[in-house]
Chains A and B, each alone.
Chain A
Amino acid sequence: MTEAHAQLLVGIWPFLVPEMILAGVACIVFLGGTVRADRHLWAGVSLLGYVAALVALHLGPATTTPADPALAHAALLPVLFDPLTKLLQALGFLTGILFVLLSWNEVDDRQAADWHACLLILVAGIGLTAAANDLVVLFLALEMVSIPTYVMLYVPRENAAAQEAALKYFLLSVFSSALVVFGFSYLYGIAGQTNLTLILEALNAPETSARDIPLLATVALITIVAGLGFRLKAAPFHFYAPDVFQGGPTVMAALLAWVHKATGFVALLRVLGFVMPPHVQPREFIGVALSEQTPIVFWFLAVITMTWGNALALVQDNLKRLLAYSTVAHAGYMLITLATAPYLRHEAGAVDGVEALLYYLIAYGAMTVGAFAMLAYLSTPERPVDTIDDLAGLSRSHPALALTMAIFLFSLIGVPLTAGFTGKFLIFFGAMSVEADHAYLFWMLAFIGVVNAAIGGWYYLRLIAVMYLRQPLQPLAPRPNLPGLATLIVCVALTLGLGVPPGSTWLLRHVKGAAGAAETARELARR
């Protein structure tokens, strides 16, 4: 460690203020929870924590831009602050706010403190994942997301189903973590570094490369993809999802569907070099440093995932199970972008794979969290909303809620004017834009994708049909729940707003900026 390096290490503290705030508030809430059991209090406190973190993020130093020579070595630090990090951190903190609102009335007074404290840690984990530039940090950040999840899965509910969900998630999560770190260990072995920048540098260096030790590289690739695939809910690593979604609290289902998927994708982007530190030059394409076969792996993973998810979602009657399979299917669509991203050099494709991924991820977050929030909002202990039939006739009793839900579902189908459409469009357009010898493979991928989208239409539409076209069996009586309503409003606003200009333009600009690191890398590579 050089002197300059040490200086830089000291200099990164300002960047970490938001996470520190969150951790601090978490400690306060943990401790305070032993004194007072009041869900409003602790939700309010953690809300303040998120707001403070957001403010700190906003006021904090700008990103470590590659143009700044003083920070030329910033990329060697264990944490990296590029536009992608900033975007994801902001998103993470917003997610935190959203989930506080969503869970405000869902968690008992007694468990509220624990719950909110865990959520704070989890969100801090998101921020750290986004920033991680070192295997150690990344591993820790991922575990910061995982471990609170175990607790949160069984804290709010004490029935057998919740416990079973927690057990399944816990065991399989540990299993997948082991897979990820196994991959990390080989990655480390190949590069001799834990720093991701250096690893990518080494992998992309012309003289030495992973291709000299194909076995290690391949094993690393597969185990990392498999382990993180658990978080993405990519088939065949998704099996826990339906059971856990069904058994666990609705809020947790939303959390797993969006936050864990997002962290998984971010980790993949970082580790496999889809988004590279500014000065690292990809030897050929992005994302294929470990193995030439990365796109093929993602190709198959995407196909299996979306097909499996959609086929099984078709036969579901339980709402949360259905949404769990839908989240699997959507993971499949998103994986298309990773399969295509290596080929979408900017001058070739009109749309970058990473951009499409980030866009879709955010759009998906809005609509899926919205859908789960709706289920949570409608459910009462006396009249739970479990099966599709429970939604019958919602449009008659609660037209506004039904319309909101319909918007989420239409967005999940991918009907225009919603964020889901724009996202799917970018994904499929990306897949069609691939310009390579075997471009037809990606056209085929897009074809399988749209066929799946059409299949997906069937079961989402079934929900809409139930809400609109059937008479209510037993009227739902959602309790007045202001925070829950706020969640819905935010989600529906995002779902619609991000689907059409100016919202879509705005988001596209930001995800372009976030993927900018990669773009810069390619600019350099061309020179």
Chain B
Amino acid sequence: MSPVNLESYLLVGAALFVLGMVGFLTRRNMILIFLSAEMMLQGVALNLVAFARYHGDLGGQVLTLFIVTVAACEAAVALALILMLYRRRKSLDVSLWQELREPNLEPVVDDEPLPAPPPPPELPHLPVAGPKPEEQPHETSHV
């Protein structure tokens, strides 16, 4: 790989990173925000792989592997968390979560509210066998 090529890889990596960052800042859906963060990590991964190839050293690729692994871990935690949050607010809109702020400040209200979420899909019916599960109160649920 020639240095010229390295630079293009790096540019793409940086672009990915910045795109992810922009997504992180602009998206309001919590899942999309998290995915944007993942995209930033992908930019990093691209950098690392490019450098690894350039230096002929495997360390970068090892780090990439670990980043992917950790990202998976985080995704698991994230989805559990997001699910819980969704249960409370019935929405994935991150701007609903601004109760913790300096006292005496008005909440920030977006002029353009998100489009109404689609109606919840019909849950599949239970099979005939077995007892009907009890409806669990949301408050007591945890991960």
Contacts and interface: CB of A to CB of B under 8 A. Distances in A.
Question: Are any A and B Cβ atoms less than 8 Å apart in their complex?
Answer: yes
Interface of A: 111, 134-136, 139-140, 143, 147, 150-151, 154-155, 158, 160-161, 163-168, 170-171, 174-175, 177-178, 181-182, 184-186, 188-189, 192-195, 242-244, 246-247, 312, 317-318
Given A178-B41, A181-B63, A182-B44, 4 more contacts: A111-B142, A161-B100, A170-B77, A188-B59
B128 interface: no
A193 B57 contact: yes
B86 to A, nearest CB: 10
Given A182-B17, A184-B63, A160 B99 contact: yes
A164 B88 CA distance: 11
Q: Quick one: which of A165, A177, A247 has the most chain B CB within 10 A? A: A177
B22 interface: no
Contacts of B124: none
Contacts of A192: 51, 54-55, 57
A524 B85 CA distance: 56
A170 B81 contact: yes
Contacts of A134: 59
A185 B59 contact: no
B62 interface: yes
A181 B44 contact: yes
B3 to A, nearest CB: 11
A243 B67 contact: no
The 3 lowest CB-CB distance pairs between A and B, nearest first, are A194-B59, A192-B55, A243-B100
A474 B34 CA distance: 44
Contacts of A166: 81
Given A151-B77, A243-B101, A139 B33 contact: no
Nearest to B43: A182
Q: Quick one: which of B17, B63, B100, B139 has the most chain A CB within 10 A? A: B100
A164 B107 CA distance: 15
B59 A155 contact: no
Contacts of B101: 243
B82 to A, nearest CB: 8
30 contacts: A111-B142, A135-B59, A136-B59, A140-B70, A143-B70, A147-B74, A158-B142, A160-B88, A163-B81, A163-B88, A163-B97, A164-B98, A164-B99, A164-B100, A166-B81, A167-B94, A168-B100, A170-B77, A170-B78, A171-B33, A171-B34, A181-B67, A184-B44, A185-B51, A188-B48, A189-B10, A189-B51, A242-B100, A247-B100, A312-B102
A419 B21 CA distance: 41
Contacts of A243: 100-101
B31 to A, nearest CB: 11
Interface residues of B, number: 49
A139 B140 CA distance: 35
A175 B66 CA distance: 17
A413 B100 CA distance: 27
B7 to A, nearest CB: 11
A135 B57 CA distance: 14
A428 to B, nearest CB: 30
B63 A188 contact: yes
Secondary structure of the B side of the interface? helix
B41 A143 contact: no
A95 B42 CA distance: 35
Nearest to B33: A171
A243 B88 CA distance: 19
A184 B63 CA distance: 10
Contacts of A247: 99-100
B92 to A, nearest CB: 11
Given A163-B84, A171-B33, A171-B34, A189 B54 contact: yes
Nearest to A240: B100
Contacts of B84: 154, 163
B20 A178 contact: yes
Contacts of A163: 81, 84-85, 88, 97
A163 B86 CA distance: 11
A136 B63 contact: yes
Contacts of B103: 317-318
A154 B101 CA distance: 18
A174 B74 contact: yes
Interface in B40-86: 40-41, 43-44, 47-48, 50-52, 54-55, 57, 59-60, 62-63, 66-67, 70, 73-74, 77-78, 81, 84-85
A146 to B, nearest CB: 8
Contacts of B52: 188
Nearest to A179: B40
Nearest to B99: A164
Nearest to A185: B47
A147 B88 contact: no
Given A171-B34, A175-B24, A246 B66 contact: no
Contacts of B51: 185, 188-189, 192
B59 A193 contact: yes
A347 to B, nearest CB: 37
Contacts of A140: 66, 70
A121 B20 CA distance: 29
Contacts of A167: 30, 81, 85, 94, 97
A161 B74 contact: no
B18 to A, nearest CB: 10
B104 to A, nearest CB: 9
Nearest to B138: A158
Given A167-B97, A171-B34, A194 B62 contact: yes
Interface string B94-135: 100111111100000000000000000000000000000000
B23 to A, nearest CB: 11
Contacts of B47: 182, 185-186, 189
A20 B41 CA distance: 28
B43 A139 contact: no
